[in-house]
């Protein structure tokens, strides 16, 4: 959390969001926002324009650096200890097969 002294109209920047505050503050005024709220839910909006996806692995956001995207893709084939060293893809396949068998058994 950040705090500061208000001295007239001023703009501050947090996580790529610019907020301009003006007017007369009242006692105990608080300004709170979350720039990441619903980020995962709203990613479909960004998927319509891939240039809006922030996948750079550096804070500088070097254009063309999509390393975080590549890292996400690599997760599907990486062994995960908590899945008994299965990959996400193998675990998904097993879960799907188990559900299919369970539904067949339940239908009998």
Q: What tokens were used for 83?
A: 């899945």
pTM: 0.43
- What pLDDT score does 87 carry? 94
Q: What is the pLDDT of residues 73-102, one digit of tens each?
A: 999 899 999 999 999 999 999 999 999 999
- Backbone φ, ψ for residue 13 (5° rounding): -125, 130
Q: Which segments in the chain show pLDDT lower than 70?
A: 1-3, 43-47, 61-62
- What pLDDT score does 34 carry? 76
Which of 67, 65, 69 has its CA nearest to residue 46? 69
- What pLDDT score does 16 carry? 74
Neighbours of 42 (CB within 10 A): 10
- What pLDDT score does 42 carry? 72
- What pLDDT score does 47 carry? 66
Q: What tokens were used for 90?
A: 């193998």
């Amino acid at each position: 959390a950040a705090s500061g002294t208000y001295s007239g109209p001023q703009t501050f920047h947090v996580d790529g969001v610019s907020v301009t505050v003006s007017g007369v503050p009242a006692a105990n005024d608080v300004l709170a926002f979350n720039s990441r709220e619903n980020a995962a839910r709203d990613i479909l909006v960004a998927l319509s324009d891939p240039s809006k996806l922030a996948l750079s692995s550096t804070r500088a956001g070097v254009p063309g650096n999509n390393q975080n995207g590549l890292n996400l893709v690599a997760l599907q084939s990486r062994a995960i200890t908590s899945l008994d060293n299965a990959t996400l893809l193998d675990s998904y396949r097993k879960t799907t097969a188990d559900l299919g068998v369970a539904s067949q058994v339940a239908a009998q």
